[in-house]
C-alpha cells in the first residue's frame, strides 16, 4: 500500500513509471503538449520490449499503412533510416527489414531501436522538459485519498529520491505502481462469471499468468562456443508443459492454433533469404529466421560473418512461477534466466541436427547486441502485467472473430487508438496450454486507461484494464505504443485545460476536443472500412 503524502525532493507535471515502449511514447507526447515529465526506468536502456527485453516487434499485417500512430510510424522509419545512414546495405529498399525475420516486416537490433528512441527524446532532454532516470527502482508510492501524490525511487547511485507529480502514468512492465499505491487491479485469469468470456475458465486464478521469457542473441561462427553446463541442467532438460507432445527442449511443440504437434526447422545461416509470410512460415517454421535481427545477405558481402537471431521460441517460456506478485519472485527471475541458459546449452550440445549429429557448438552469444556481459537480455520479456480495474474492460467477446463474425470489433465512443493481433496466450504458470483466438482489428477505449477510483493515474502500457485473455492482443509493441501515446497526450491536455482524465472522458465536449487533438497527432482511432482479418487456418 502507499504511504501518506511526503514532501517531494523533485516535482514534475507528469511522472511516467516505466520507460518501456508505452512509457517513452507517453513521455514524448506529454512533452510535445507542453508538460514537464520525469521518467523512471529500472533498466539501463529505455524501450522495454524493443530494447532491454530484446523482442523484435510483433506487428500486424497492416502496420505499414495504418493501425498505429504517426509517431510510431516515425519511429519505424527512424529505424530504417538508421540502417540506411550507417550500414552498407545490399539493397536499401523502402521497406527495409534488416533481419528479414518473419515475425515482423521490421526485425532489427535492440540498439537500433535505442538509438531512435534516444533521438526522439533528445529535444525534450535538451530543453530540460524531460528527465529520465534509468536504473531507478520504485520503492514506495505516496497517496492522499484517491490521489497518488508521488513516489520514492532508489536511483542508480543508491540514493532515494521522492518525486511528486500532478499526474502519474503507469507504464511499468509488471504494474508496480498499482501494487504499491493500492490501486485496484487483477492478475492472472479471471473467471467466466467475472468476464463472460467464452475462453475464460470456471474459476479465477490470480497467480495463473502467462509465461515470461529471458531472450538471448546468437550468431553461428567457427569454433566451439559452448557455455558451461548449468547446475540444474538435468532438471530443465526433462521438463514438459501442458499440451506438449514431449519435452520442452525439442524441435517439436504444439501448434498454438490447433494443438497438433509441429516440428520446427533450425538452419543457422541459411544460404538464401526467403520472403515468407507469417501464415506460410507457421506451416513449416524455421526458428533461425523467426526473430532474426541481422540477415548477413541484407548487407554488402563481407560485413557480417553470420546472421544474428534472437531466441524467443515456444520452448523458452519459463513456467515454474510468476515473476511478480509472489514472495519468491526474485528466485523465479533468476531461474527464468537459468532456464534460458539451459536451453542454450541444449542447443549447443544435444539439439538434433539434420545430418544425424547433435549440438551446434558454433552458436555464440552476442553480448554487444543485448548490452549485457553475457548476451542475455537485460530484462525478462513480461507478457502479462498487473491489470487495472478500469472504467472500461475490453473482453474477448468485443473482438473475437468467432463471437463477432463479420461485424468486426466493437467500436468505442471514447476510442483513443487502434491495434491488431490474434489473442495469443502462451502456456501459463498455472498449467494452461496455448490459447490462440482469431481477433478483429480493435480499438483502444480511453476508459481502459482510467482507474475506477484513483483520479490522477492513467495506465500507459500493458497495465490497462484488459482481461487475462484480451491482454493477449493488446500487449504487443504497436498497441502498447498507441496506449502510451494516448496517455501522454491526455496528461498534457488535462494540464492545459485544468481538468482530470475522468473529466475528459465523462464530458462529451472535452472528449470530442481531445479526440480531435489525437487526430491532429496522426493517431489512428478507427480502422478503415473493409479491413478484415487474414483467412484463418
Instruction: Specify burial of residue 522 (Cβ count, 10 A radius: 0-12, 13-18, 19+).
Output: middle
pLDDT of residue 523: 98
**Phi then psi dihedrals of residue 104, to 5 deg:** -160, 155
Q: How far apart are CA 276 and CA 386, in angstroms?
A: 35
Report which DSSP code applies to 462: T
C-alpha angle with apex 20: 15 to 21, nearest 5 degrees? 110
Which neighbouring-strand residues pair with 263?
252
How does DSSP assign 261-297, residue by residue? EEE-B--SS-SS-----HHHHHHS-BHHHHTEEE-GG
From 24-28, 31-35, 91-95, 280-284, the region with the lowest mean pLDDT: 280-284
Residue 278 confidence (pLDDT) above 60: no
pLDDT of residue 276: 57
Q: What is the largest CA-CA distance in the chain?
A: 70
Task: Determine how many CB atoms are found less than 10 A away from the CB of residue 443.
Answer: 26
How does DSSP assign 312-334, residue by residue? --GGG-B-SS-SSSSTTHHHHHH
Cβ(154)–Cβ(137) below 8 Å: yes
**SS3 category, 254:** strand
pLDDT digits (tens, 9 = 90+) for 425-438: 999 999 999 999 99
Pairing between strand 37-41 and 130-134?
A: parallel
Direct distance between the N- and C-terminal alpha carbons of the chain, in angstroms, rounded to an integer: 47
Three cell numbers written together for 86: 550507417
Report which DSSP code applies to 467: -
How does DSSP assign 333-372, residue by residue? HHHHHHHHHHHHHHHHHT-B-TTS-B--TTEEE-HHHHTS
Nearest Cα residue to 100 out of 294, 233, 251, 239: 294
pLDDT band at 536 (very low <50, low <70, confident <90, very high): very low
Report which DSSP code applies to 146: T
Q: How far apart are CA 312 and CA 428, in angstroms?
A: 16
Residue 535 confidence (pLDDT) above 50: no
Cβ(164)–Cβ(11) below 8 Å: yes
Q: How far apart are CA 533 and CA 401, in angstroms?
A: 8
The model carries a pTM of 0.95
Q: How far apart are CA 152 and CA 6, in angstroms?
A: 9
pLDDT of residue 463: 97
Three cell numbers written together for 405: 463474425
| Cell 508521488 -> residue | 150
What does the chain come to in residues?
537
Q: How far apart are CA 86 and CA 111, in angstroms?
A: 13
Q: How far apart are CA 283 and CA 270, in angstroms?
A: 18
Nearest Cα residue to 107 out of 363, 377, 312: 312
According to CATH, where is 3.50.50.60 located in the chain?
7-191+384-521
**pLDDT over 70, % of the chain:** 95
Q: Rounded mean pLDDT of 61-68?
A: 93
Cα R_g (the chain), whole angstroms: 22
Residues near 222 by beta carbon (within 8 Å), at least 6 away in sequence: 362
pLDDT of residue 279: 58
E strand or H helix at 163: strand 160-170
Residues near 106 by beta carbon (within 8 Å), at least 6 away in sequence: 56, 57, 59, 76, 79, 80, 96, 97, 98
Residue 114 confidence (pLDDT) above 50: yes
Three cell numbers written together for 500: 482530470
Instruction: Specify burial of residue 275 (Cβ count, 10 A radius: 0-12, 13-18, 19+).
Output: exposed
Q: Rounded mean pLDDT of 384-393?
A: 98
Residue 442 confidence (pLDDT) above 70: yes
In words, the CATH class of domain 7-191+384-521 is: alpha beta
Q: Rounded mean pLDDT of 352-362?
A: 97
Query: Helix-strand-coil percent breakdown of the chain, rounded to 5?
Result: 30, 20, 50
pLDDT of residue 531: 76
pLDDT of residue 1: 54
E strand or H helix at 16: strand 10-17
Cβ(292)–Cβ(108) below 8 Å: no
Give residue 298's Cα distance to chain centre: 26
**160 CB-side CA count, 13 A:** 10
Three cell numbers written together for 425: 496466450
Q: Rounded mean pLDDT of 180-189?
A: 98
pLDDT of residue 468: 98
Amino acid at each position: 500500500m502507499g504511504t501518506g503524502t511526503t514532501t517531494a525532493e523533485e516535482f514534475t507535471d507528469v511522472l511516467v513509471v516505466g520507460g518501456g515502449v508505452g512509457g517513452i511514447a507517453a513521455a514524448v507526447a506529454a512533452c510535445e503538449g507542453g508538460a514537464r515529465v520525469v521518467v523512471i526506468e529500472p533498466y539501463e536502456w529505455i524501450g522495454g520490449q524493443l530494447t532491454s527485453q530484446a523482442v523484435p516487434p510483433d506487428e500486424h499485417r497492416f502496420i505499414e499503412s495504418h493501425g498505429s500512430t504517426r509517431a510510431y510510424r516515425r519511429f519505424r522509419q527512424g529505424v530504417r533510416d538508421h540502417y540506411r545512414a550507417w550500414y552498407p546495405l545490399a539493397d536499401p529498399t523502402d521497406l527495409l527489414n534488416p533481419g528479414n525475420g518473419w515475425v515482423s516486416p521490421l526485425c532489427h537490433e535492440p540498439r537500433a531501436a535505442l538509438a531512435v528512441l534516444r533521438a526522439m527524446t533528445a529535444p525534450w532532454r535538451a530543453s530540460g522538459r524531460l528527465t529520465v532516470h534509468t536504473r531507478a527502482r520504485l520503492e514506495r508510492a505516496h497517496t492522499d485519498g484517491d490521489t497518488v501524490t508521488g513516489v520514492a525511487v532508489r536511483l542508480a547511485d543508491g540514493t532515494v529520491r521522492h518525486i511528486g507529480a500532478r499526474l502519474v502514468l503507469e507504464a511499468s512492465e509488471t504494474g508496480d505502481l498499482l501494487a504499491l499505491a493500492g490501486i485496484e487491479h487483477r492478475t492472472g485469469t479471471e473467471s467466466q462469471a467475472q468476464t463472460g468470456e467464452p475462453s475464460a475458465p470456471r474459476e479465477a486464478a490470480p497467480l495463473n499468468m502467462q509465461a515470461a521469457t529471458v531472450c538471448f542473441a546468437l550468431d553461428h561462427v567457427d569454433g566451439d562456443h559452448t557455455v558451461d553446463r548449468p547446475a540444474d541442467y538435468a532438471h530443465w532438460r526433462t521438463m514438459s508443459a501442458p499440451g506438449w507432445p514431449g519435452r520442452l527442449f525439442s524441435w517439436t511443440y504444439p501448434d498454438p492454433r490447433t494443438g497438433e504437434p509441429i516440428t520446427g526447422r533450425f538452419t543457422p545461416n541459411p544460404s538464401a533469404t526467403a520472403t515468407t509470410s507469417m501464415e506460410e512460415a507457421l506451416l513449416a517454421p524455421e526458428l533461425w529466421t523467426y526473430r532474426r535481427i541481422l540477415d548477413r545477405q541484407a548487407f554488402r558481402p563481407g560485413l557480417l560473418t553470420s546472421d544474428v537471431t534472437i531466441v524467443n521460441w515456444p520452448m523458452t517460456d519459463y513456467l515454474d512461477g510468476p515473476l511478480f506478485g509472489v514472495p519468491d519472485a526474485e528466485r523465479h527471475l533468476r531461474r527464468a534466466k537459468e532456464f534460458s541458459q539451459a536451453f542454450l546449452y541444449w542447443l549447443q550440445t544435444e539439439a538434433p541436427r539434420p545430418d544425424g549429429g547433435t549440438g551446434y557448438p558454433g552458436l555464440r552469444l552476442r553480448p554487444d547486441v543485448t548490452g549485457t556481459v553475457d548476451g542475455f537480455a537485460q530484462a525478462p520479456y513480461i507478457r502479462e502485467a498487473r491489470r487495472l480495474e478500469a472504467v472500461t474492460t475490453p473482453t474477448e467477446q468485443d473482438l473475437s472473430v468467432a463471437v463477432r463474425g463479420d461485424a468486426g470489433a466493437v467500436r468505442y465512443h471514447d476510442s483513443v487508438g487502434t491495434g491488431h493481433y490474434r489473442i495469443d496466450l502462451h502456456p501459463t504458470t498455472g498449467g494452461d496450454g496455448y490459447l490462440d483466438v482469431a481477433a478483429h482489428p480493435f480499438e483502444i477505449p480511453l476508459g481502459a486507461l482510467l482507474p475506477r477510483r484513483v483520479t490522477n493515474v492513467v495506465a500507459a502500457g500493458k497495465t490497462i484494464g484488459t482481461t487475462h485473455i484480451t491482454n493477449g492482443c493488446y500487449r504487443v509493441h504497436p498497441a502498447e505504443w498507441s496506449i502510451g501515446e494516448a496517455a501522454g497526450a491526455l496528461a498534457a491536455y488535462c494540464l492545459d485545460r485544468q481538468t482530470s482524465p475522468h473529466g475528459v472522458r465523462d464530458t462529451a465536449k472535452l472528449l470530442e476536443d481531445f479526440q480531435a487533438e489525437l487526430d491532429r497527432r496522426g493517431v489512428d482511432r478507427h480502422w478503415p472500412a473493409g479491413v478484415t482479418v487474414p483467412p484463418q487456418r
